Amino acid sequence: MLAADDHRYRRQSLFPPIGLAGQRRLGAATVAVVGCGATGGATAQLLARAGIGRLVMVDRDLVAEDNLHRQVLFNESDAREMRPKAEAAAAHLREVNSQIKIEPAVAHLHAGNIDELLAGTDLVVDGTDNVATRFLLNDWAFANTIPWIYVGAVGGEGMLMPVAPPHGPCLRCLLPEPPPPGVLATCDTAGVVGPVPAAMGAMAATEAIKLVIGAGEREPRLRSIDFWHWRVHTIALPVRQGCPTCVEGRFEFLEAQPGSRLTEICGRDSYQIVPRDCGSLDLAWIASRWKGGNQTRSKSFIRIEEGGMRLVLFADGRALIEGAGEAGRAQAFYDRVVGA
């Protein structure tokens, strides 16, 4: 007879490779999803329904209208209110499964905060939109012997590879170095078919369940799926001789010092600014002294609009700026608001 807390997952635990023992492992596990948008959001929803005991949701961005065709956790209200994706995702997932712990973190993951944000996790799922964060996750996973799942979607194609430290292959066996800007296709240059991230999220959630219960592949493989033309490739990726991460144990991305940097965000005229050693900002004070443009305040951020630009400032000093047109104008707007 099933215990009361197992009844919800009865159809899943009836599957022999999972069983009651596997279901209870899921309930005891912590999984972090870094990036709560398209692939990450689809993965997180399925893991919440599967009964993962604790979900950590990390995302730096806000919900926008052009997210809605592919990001299944959000609705029009989230976009109108520009809710932080991590908080909106957590709120919706709590309505899906109130029995599990869901912890949102509205943050840009970097070398200085990754240990804190991913503390206590048994597995990390990649829902990011940039190579730099994936290289950081790869380093962190091998430094802490925590498995992670690389997954992406662009155009009509998706790619997935579980990575299982301490053994390779790893992301740097596939991509030895971060490619120059503009080399890899992105959602901005190639678009993305809405169902593709959801399909990749389902695959990532399945791999996550297998890894948590100890049924993952002994030799992880890279899978590439062209959904538009129904071409599937499974590649036995070899460990690359001299790989700095999984062979030599060097973690240069993890050891990099976080500093002030401005980066362009895929998909719209947007920039993110991450300051060096900013500490915690007094958002109420900044809002009270700012006299230009329109402003909106929430518990997580202040939003200021002026001259066709929109700046969203978080308490850690990070900002998202839209409509600046070029990086220098975005930085100047930030400096005026923050007082740098």
Q: Which residue has the higher pLDDT, 180 or 327?
A: 327
Region 156-160: mean pLDDT is 96
> Residues spanned by CATH 3.40.50.720 within the chain?
4-255
Asked if 104 and 93 count as a contact pair (C-beta separation under 8 A), the reply is no
Q: Is the pLDDT of residue 295 over 50?
A: yes
Catalytic residue, chosen from 170, 187, 243, 246, is: 187
Predicted pLDDT at 288: 81
Whole-model pTM: value is: 0.84
Region 133-159: mean pLDDT is 96
| Domain 4-255 falls under CATH 3.40.50.261 | no
Mean pLDDT of the chain: 89
The CATH classification of domain 261-338, taken from the options 3.90.550, 3.30.310, 2.60.40, 3.50.70: 3.30.310
Q: Give the tokens for residue 83.
A: 């809710």
Q: Give per-residue pLDDT as tens, 184-205.
A: 666 665 789 999 999 999 999 9
Query: What b/e sequence results for 288-303 when a residue is b if at least 16 CB atoms lie within 10 Å of its CB, and e otherwise?
Result: eebeeeebeeeebbbb
Predicted pLDDT at 328: 76
Q: Give the tokens for residue 237.
A: 């990726």
Active site residue 187: yes
With 0-12 / 13-18 / 19 or more C-beta atoms within 10 angstroms meaning exposed / middle / buried, residue 51 is buried
Predicted pLDDT at 194: 95
> Residues spanned by CATH 3.30.310 within the chain?
261-338
State whether residue 125 is helix, strand or coil. strand
State whether residue 40 is helix, strand or coil. helix
Residues 327, 278: Cα–Cα separation, whole Å: 20
Q: Give per-residue pLDDT as tens, 72-102.
A: 999 999 999 889 999 999 999 999 999 999 9
Query: 304 forms bridges with which residues in the sheet?
Result: 295, 311
Asked if 275 and 334 count as a contact pair (C-beta separation under 8 A), the reply is no
Predicted pLDDT at 277: 58
Q: Which residue has the higher pLDDT, 324 or 29?
A: 29
Predicted pLDDT at 78: 95
Q: Give the tokens for residue 210.
A: 């297998």
